[in-house]
Structure 1
Amino acid sequence: MEDFVEIYLKSLQSFCPELKDQELDLFASKLNFLELKKKDIFLESGKVQKMLGFIAKGLVRSFYIDRHGNEITVGFYAEQDYATHYPAFVFQKPSHYTIQCLEPTTFACLSYDDIQSMYQQSHNIEKYGRLVAEEILIRQQERIESFIFQSAEERYLHFIKHHPGIFNRISLSHLCSFLGIERQTLTRIRQKLAHK
């Protein structure tokens, strides 16, 4: 697991260079590791998320079930990312989403209580938490605006451009669900782009 600790600490440093060695040591001392298999659930809808999961290795998706019983994918998270429904985590409320592994996944986990305690001990760690929250807010806003301002084709092209590392690791049905389009629509878009 030492390699995964190193991956996690490097990610912290790149995101918040102000973090000092003793602050990184504090993070490392609080980490727990969780290994899940493909199709295992990291967070179940209706449950309170007690651990924030940094993906050291693997891929997960976040989804909810609509009133017709369909799974609607709202996010994909791979290495160097957090698997969380952040607002529910911050307020320790039951999540509306399920987070499921699409591949065998190793999480570096921090408990809610440990994170709150570390915020009290260090302004830099508190700053890191704020930067993570800002990043999540930006992504959520971009997703909302993609449905307002972009066509299905533009959403597809944006996904390919900004997520090249996971494009070939997810199913077309999950991708269609995430993009908010039918499978035949995606087929038409791909055929059209192939002939350009």
Structure 2
Amino acid sequence: MEVATEIFIESVRKICPQLSADELSLFASKLKFQELKKKEIFLQVGKVQNAIGFIAKGLVRSFYIDDKGNEITVGFYKEGDYATHYPAFITRQQSRYTIQCLEPTQMLCLTYEDQQWIYQQSAGFERYSRLIVEEILKRQQARIESFIFETAEQRYLDFINNHAGLFNRISLSHLCSFLGIERQSLTRIRQKLSHQ
């Protein structure tokens, strides 16, 4: 847990360097360490998310099941990211997504109640949370706009450019699902790009 906590504190310092050591210790004191196995579920669809999870080590994906029974991946979250369906977390509503570990994963978890308590103790953490939420919103908006304004090939190239470290950590089926394309379409795109 100590290594995971150090990773977390370093991540917070990068975003909010003005936070004091006391504020960081206060935040860290409320974190609970959780270790999950590959394929283990962190958040089940239809459940209220009790705690947001900071990923210290590992990789998770967020997905839903469509009306044909297909798993549709909507996000991948690696070290330094938060595993959450944030709108449902803050409104205490049931999640529409399942969050599953793609690798053995270590998380530091903060309950909703502890999050609200920390906000009362430290305005600095309200700022930190706002910056994290803004980042989540930017990523979600970029994903939505990629399906409106980009071709499948552009979405693939964006993924390679922005998530190069994930490419060898995820399956092709999860990647296809995330990009919204069939596997044979991805094969054609990759063949085309290899000949350019």
Q: Say whether 1:3 aligns with 2:21.
A: no
| C-alpha displacement of 1:165 | 1.2
Letter matched to residue 192 of structure 2: K
CA–CA distance in 2 between the matches of 1:121 and 1:147? 41
The corresponding residue for 1:142 is 142
> Which residue pairs with 2:152 in the alignment?
152
- Letter in structure 2 aligned against 1:73: T
Residues 1:120 and 2:120 aligned together: yes
Q: Name the SS for the 1:47 alignment partner.
A: coil
Identical positions, percent: 69
Q: How far apart, CA to CA, are the structure 1 residues paired with 2:50 and 2:15?
A: 23
1:106 alignment partner, SS class:
strand
What is the CA–CA distance in structure 2 between the aligned matches of 1:12 and 1:33, rounded to whole Å? 17
What's the counterpart of residue 38 of structure 1?
Answer: 38
> Residue 73 in 1 paired to residue 70 in 2?
no
SS of match in other structure, 1:160: helix
Q: CA RMSD in A?
A: 0.6
Other structure's SS at 1:39 match = coil
Structure 2: 5+ residue runs without aligned partners? Answer: none
Deviation for aligned residue 1:79: 0.4
Distance 1:71 1:99 in 2: 12
Q: Are positions 1:82 and 2:92 aligned together? A: no
Q: Counterpart of 1:185 in structure 2: which amino acid?
A: S
1:17-76 deviation per Cα after TM superposition (whole angstroms, max 9, x unaligned): 221111100111011111010000000000000111000000000000001111000000
Q: Counterparts of 2:164 and 2:194 in 1: how far apart (Å)?
A: 17
Partner of 1:52: 52
Please tell me the residue identity of whatever aligns with 2:174.
H
Quote how far apart the aligned CAs of 1:127 are: 0.4
| Corresponding residue for residue 13 of structure 1 | 13
Instruction: Determine helix, strand or coil for the equivalent of 2:49.
Output: coil
Residues 68-115 of structure 1 deviation map (CA, whole Å, 9 limit, x = unaligned): 111000000000000000000011100000000000000111111000
> What is the SS of the residue equivalent to 2:142?
helix
Separation in 2 of the partners of 1:76 and 1:38?
A: 14
1:150-193 CA distance string (max 9 Å, x none): 11000000001101111110000000000000000000000000
CA distance in 1, matches of 2:95, 2:19: 30
Match of 1:95 in 2: 95
Match of residue 105 from structure 1: 105
**In the TM superposition, what whole-angstrom CA distance separates every residue of 1:108-156 from its partner, at most 9, and x where no partner exists?**
1111100000111111111011111111111110000000111100000
Q: C-alpha distance in 2, partners of 1:61/1:126? A: 26
The letter for the 1-side match of 2:193 is L
Which residue pairs with 1:28 in the alignment?
28
Distance (Å, rounded) in 2 between the aligned partners of 1:23 and 1:132: 17
> Hey, what's the Cα distance between the residues in 2 that align with 1:163 and 1:71?
21
TM-score scaled by structure 2? 0.99
Q: TM-score, normalised by structure 1?
A: 0.99
